[in-house]
Amino acid sequence: MEVNDTNLSQIKAFPRAQWRRLARGNFSITEVAEGVRTRKHLVDLSFLLKIVSIGDQLRQEDPGFSAVILIGLNERERLTILDGNHRLVAAMLSTPCAVKKLVFSAGCRLV
């Protein structure tokens, strides 16, 4: 799956823990990333340090990790991140090319 700036808003963070405080009900990953950028006071320092650390790793040529696993109902609906919330948010807040270093795998519900 190819993810770019245009369709990032169609990806949702799984609504739990720190993401709930940052999202304020809108779990679009773009809103969550904006929450990290502007509402840092709502989350623990250890959480923020984890995002910064992952961002630092993503600036390296080979960060050593890259997967973001997504799930959705079908090809037309929004996708939710099952694994990789921190990686994607860190990439979005890091350098413009960091998101391109991630590999996105998506699965849809089988009927």
pLDDT band for position 110 (cuts 50, 70, 90): low
SS (H, E, C) 26-75: CCEHHHHHHHHHHCHHHCCHHHHHHHHHHHHHHCCCCCCCCEEEEEECCC
pLDDT band for position 62 (cuts 50, 70, 90): confident
Q: Is the pLDDT of residue 111 over 70?
A: no
pLDDT tens digits for range 74-88: 777 889 999 999 999
State the average pLDDT for the chain.
Answer: 86
Q: Give bridge partners of residue 83 from the DSSP assignment.
A: 69
Count of C-beta atoms within a 10 Å radius of residue 104:
18
Q: Is the pLDDT of residue 109 over 70?
A: no
Token pair for 65: 């990790």
